[in-house]
A = this chain, B = another copy of it.
Amino acid sequence: MIRHVVMFRFHDHVTAEQIAEFGRGLSEMVPQVPGILAYAHGPDIGVNDGNYDYAVTADFASTDDYRIYRDHPVHRAVIERFTGPLVAARSGVQFMFGA
């Protein structure tokens, strides 16, 4: 199994409504992309200082399935819609883990 993890830090001017819209955009994307075994995402809950603002985790059976997600037009459209207006910094990892 492959777990894809990505975190975003948003620009200071980003509003709660924009973040909620981003979340809805992700949730609406998931059923349109094949091969996603699990998908979880949400804003940081504020327990720790210095955190990023939002995280996404997505599980796939294989690297190929991850690539299908990464390159899928519906996913690319979400990235194009939100990255410019919202995202100040991004960090990502894909790693293997036991089922």
Q: Does A16 contact B (CB under 8 A)?
A: no
Q: Are B41 and A67 in contact (CB under 8 A)?
A: no
**How many of chain A's residues touch chain B, expressed as a range?**
20 to 34
Tell me the nearest residue of chain B to A45, going by C-beta: B94
Q: When each residue 73-98 of chain A gets 1 if its CB lies under 8 Å from chain B and 0 otherwise, what string results?
A: 00000000000000000011111111
Contacts of A47 in B (CB 8 A): 63, 66-67, 94
Interface centre among A54, A93, A97 (most CB of B within 10 A): A93
A window 42-68: CB within 8 A of B: 42-45, 47-48, 50-55, 57, 63, 66-67
Tell me the nearest residue of chain B to A44, going by C-beta: B93
